[in-house]
Amino acid sequence: MERIVQLIEEDLNKLEGAIEELLTTKIPFIKEVVYHIVKSGGKRIRPVLLIHSARMCAADGDKHIPYAAIVEFIHTATLLHDDVVDNAETRRGSRTANEIWGNEPSVLVGDFLFSKSFDLMIENNNAKILRIMAKVTTGLAEGEILELLKTSDIGTTQEEYFEVISKKTAVLLSAACEIGAVLGRVDARKRAALRKYGYNVGMAFQLTDDILDYVSDDTVLGKHAGTDLKEGKVTLPLIQALKSATEKERNQVRKTLDGRHVTVRDFEKVRGIIRKYGGIEYTLEISRKYVEDAKQSLKSFPSSPHRDALLDFADYIVTRKT
Amino acid sequence: MERIVQLIEEDLNKLEGAIEELLTTKIPFIKEVVYHIVKSGGKRIRPVLLIHSARMCAADGDKHIPYAAIVEFIHTATLLHDDVVDNAETRRGSRTANEIWGNEPSVLVGDFLFSKSFDLMIENNNAKILRIMAKVTTGLAEGEILELLKTSDIGTTQEEYFEVISKKTAVLLSAACEIGAVLGRVDARKRAALRKYGYNVGMAFQLTDDILDYVSDDTVLGKHAGTDLKEGKVTLPLIQALKSATEKERNQVRKTLDGRHVTVRDFEKVRGIIRKYGGIEYTLEISRKYVEDAKQSLKSFPSSPHRDALLDFADYIVTRKT
């Protein structure tokens, strides 16, 4: 990831400036809540994708900087609301905003960030980008709602899971890349290629996240392993294992998903079931396929340091440990 | 209110159709939550203002109908999130969405409605209206956050109160009227006049709401009197009374605002203090002044049934019992 970031260091510094500059409000408390989450060591994945896409498409000037800030704002808003929905206590090793200030500010500051993003998009006045983003946030909300409806549902299908991660993760990464293409004024074919790259990278990203929740330990992940299970999220490693699990094993999983407290022992039992039926390998394989498809999409672009960075990024997605 | 509504009955019927038609989603649960609140007998105040404004400005066709739906969607989204923030159990005599389904769907379906509104505005593609609305939702969030920060704060000033109600209520009503003006393509002066009308009507509306919370009884209001006090909302009737209250009375108010449960006796004591210092009359007087200013703004328009309806609406605001 370091090399990927180095190439756009100047843009990323400008992004940090833009995040502070664009977050205009007379209410200091709003900034306090936003900075708590924005400055907590997130990887700026969406801005990184947007900036490399824009640069690869030879977008000139700094027009992409505010959009990089906007996609990070939208992502931050979803994190604030997600943590309320999941009753999450920690994120990236820090206490969540809802833990510190309660649910109310998290809901309202999330709303503020969504609105501010909308406001900034209109100010920047690019009709094509507006049309891209119009569908994205609706999709995000639908993805979160679908996920909520499937909470603790042992019958969640692979198709339902893919619909959830597509909407809650892949569409925003896809939009970030497509915005870069629009700013670089490339042709429709290249624009579609970048949209596809972002989508596939987004799918691989979420699949890997869901794997890490079962294979990493706390010190590596910076968040507790087993969080998904605790929150009743039925992800692909588990869905795959459940396809072959015995009735006794299914009952164990059901009991754990329904329970209020997941003990280390419960977690280990479920992890054992996933291991037994190859749930991790299966998910990793699909994730790798998305990465290959993503890289394939970039073939229509001539070789360049930014294209290399995007290719590296796709590989990084599935090999990362955090 | 009946006469005001009758004149635009056809448009309001179309609005109900548009609400259903525009709420496109493949997830039936989203519609269930939205309809629970949208179909619970709200007065459609924002659409009514928008439609009369558009018709008074001779807007032709049905272009105003989707915008009428959009302002109602935005309002509904804020209600869903407000009820989470306020831990409200009932609204308009029905159980709130958060009471029925929990906080999570209320947060996410609210997000969906905000995003859908944004999506529909972009689809309808009117740059002037987009610019109006860009600032509105950010203001809404800021107003709610300011209100939250002032919860149970006996030191809340009149200026702070006015900032809260301006942002959380008046700006959206103002925008609804201004959208009507834009659709009718009237000149800048008339557009400003309608914006001002909506703003002043919005201020009067919230002031009256805050009065009703102290003077109405349950059967009339359809929501419990004393809700604001229970939720720690320090509104103008109370702020005015506190200006002259004795130390003992201030302590009584402070104790009630800080307490977890407000008894009928607590409420009656605070209501007694408000009555003693004329908090209701003072608020009513200011509210009436806003109504007069609102009506004044309409003088630049020639007489018409729609102008009469807007004049009536301004009067209705301060005389209504619910």
DSSP string, B133-155: HHHHHHHHHHHHHHHHHTTT-TT
* Closest in B108, B127, B148 to A148, CB measured: B108
State the amino acid at position A258 in one-letter form: D
Sign of torsion over alpha carbons A283, A284, A286, A287: positive
The model's pTM: 0.93
3-state SS assignment for residue B91: strand
B210-222 residue pLDDT tens: 999 998 765 443 4
Q: Can you tell me the distance from the alpha carbon of A311 to that of B186, in angstroms, rounded to the nearest whole number?
A: 54
Share of chain A above pLDDT 70, in %: 98
Which chain A residues touch B81 with a CB distance below 8 Å? 107-108, 111
A106-115 residue pLDDT tens: 999 999 999 9
Interface residue of B119, B146, B147, B150 to substitute, partner A, most A CBs within 10 Å: B119
Give the position of tokens 């996609």: A71
B133 within 8 A of B172, measured Cβ to Cβ: no
**Residue A82, min C-alpha distance to chain B (Å):** 9
**DSSP for B185-215, written as a single string:** T--HHHHHHHHHHHHHHHHHHHHHHHHHHHH
User: Residue A185 CB: number of other CB atoms within 10 A?
Assistant: 13
* Nearby residues of B151 by Cβ (< 8 Å), 6 or more positions away: B231, B232, B233, B234
Lowest mean per-residue pLDDT among A131-140, A277-286, B209-218, B281-290: B209-218
3-state SS assignment for residue A321: coil
**Residue B30, min C-alpha distance to chain A (Å):** 8
What pLDDT does A223 receive? Answer: 53
**Residue A27, min C-alpha distance to chain B (Å):** 8
**Residue B9, min C-alpha distance to chain A (Å):** 31
Nearest CA in chain B to A33: B145
Q: Which of A37, A144, A137, A133 is nearest to A82 (CA)?
A: A144
H/E run at residue A91: strand A90-91
Structure tokens belonging to residue B300: 């630049």
B83-99 residue pLDDT tens: 888 888 888 778 989 98
3-state SS assignment for residue B291: helix
Q: Can you tell me the distance from the alpha carbon of B25 to that of B31, in angstroms, rounded to the nearest whole number?
A: 8
Nearest CA in chain A to B121: A134
* Nearby residues of A110 by Cβ (< 8 Å), 6 or more positions away: A76, A77, A78, A80, A81, A84, B111
A174-228 residue pLDDT tens: 999 999 999 999 999 999 999 999 999 999 999 999 999 998 765 443 455 788 9
**Residue B112, min C-alpha distance to chain A (Å):** 5
Q: How many residues does chain B have?
A: 322
What pLDDT does A31 receive? Answer: 94
Q: Which of A122, A295, A18 is nearest to B118 (CA)?
A: A122
Point out which residues pair with B137 in neighbouring strands: none
* Nearby residues of A75 by Cβ (< 8 Å), 6 or more positions away: A42, A46, A172
Q: Can you tell me the distance from the alpha carbon of A39 to that of A51, in angstroms, rounded to the nearest whole number?
A: 19
* Nearby residues of A178 by Cβ (< 8 Å), 6 or more positions away: A53, A132, A191, A194, A195, A198
Share of chain B above pLDDT 70, in %: 98
3-state SS assignment for residue A90: strand
- Confidence at A89, pLDDT banded by 50, 70, 90: confident
* Nearby residues of A102 by Cβ (< 8 Å), 6 or more positions away: none
**Residue B280, min C-alpha distance to chain A (Å):** 29
Contact A122 B130 (CB under 8 A): yes
Helix A264-276 with A236-244: angle, nearest 10 deg = 70
Structure tokens belonging to residue B162: 């006015």
With 80 as the cut, is the pLDDT of residue A71 above it? yes
Residues of B with CB under 8 A from a CB of A: 25-27, 29-30, 81, 84-85, 103-105, 107-112, 114-116, 118-119, 122-123, 125, 127, 130-131, 134-135, 137-138, 140-142, 144-146, 148-149
Q: Can you tell me the distance from the alpha carbon of B218 to that of B93, in angstroms, rounded to the nearest whole number?
A: 9
Structure tokens belonging to residue A261: 């407290």
Nearest CA in chain B to A138: B115
Which chain A residues touch B130 with a CB distance below 8 Å? 122
Lowest mean per-residue pLDDT among A27-36, A239-248, B82-91, B301-310: B82-91
Q: Can you tell me the distance from the alpha carbon of B38 to that of B42, in angstroms, rounded to the nearest whole number?
A: 7
Which chain A residues touch B112 with a CB distance below 8 Å? 138, 141-142, 145
Q: Can you tell me the distance from the alpha carbon of A69 to that of A44, in angstroms, rounded to the nearest whole number?
A: 9
* Closest in B104, B118, B145 to A108, CB measured: B145
* Closest in A29, A134, A145 to B27, CB measured: A145
B132 within 8 A of B172, measured Cβ to Cβ: no
* Closest in A103, A107, A112 to B138, CB measured: A112
User: Residue B80 CB: number of other CB atoms within 10 A?
Assistant: 29
Which chain A residues touch B145 with a CB distance below 8 Å? 27, 29-30, 105, 108-109, 112
With 80 as the cut, is the pLDDT of residue A288 above it? yes
Which chain B residues touch A27 with a CB distance below 8 Å? 142, 145-146, 149
Nearest CA in chain B to A140: B112
What is the ipTM for the molecules in this complex?
A: 0.93
**DSSP for B242-290, written as a single string:** HHH--HHHHHHHHHHHH-S---HHHHHHHHHHHHHTTHHHHHHHHHHHH
What pLDDT does B8 receive? Answer: 97
Q: Can you tell me the distance from the alpha carbon of A226 to that of A205, in angstroms, rounded to the nearest whole number?
A: 18
Q: Can you tell me the distance from the alpha carbon of A239 to that of A277, in angstroms, rounded to the nearest whole number?
A: 10
Which chain B residues touch A114 with a CB distance below 8 Å? 111, 114-115, 137
Burial class (CB in 10 A: 0-12, 13-18, 19+), B94: middle
> What average pLDDT is seen over chain B?
93
What pLDDT does B219 receive? Answer: 41
Q: Which of A48, A78, A103, A250 is nearest to A168 (CA)?
A: A78
What pLDDT does B260 receive? Answer: 77
Contact A145 B119 (CB under 8 A): no
Point out which residues pair with B90 in neighbouring strands: B95
Nearest CA in chain A to B83: A104
Q: Which of A73, A50, A68 is nearest to A181 (CA)?
A: A50
What is the interface size between A and B, counted as CB pairs within 8 Å? 120
Give the position of tokens 């959830």: A164
Which chain B residues touch A144 with a CB distance below 8 Å? 108, 111
Contact A108 B141 (CB under 8 A): yes
Task: Output the CA–CA distances (angstroms, integers) from residue B280 to B208, B214, B287, in the order listed.
Answer: 9, 8, 10
What domains lie within chain B, and their CATH numbers?
2-216+294-305 (1.10.600.10)
Contact A119 B105 (CB under 8 A): no
Q: Which of A253, A248, A247 is nearest to A279 (CA)?
A: A253
Contact B148 A109 (CB under 8 A): no
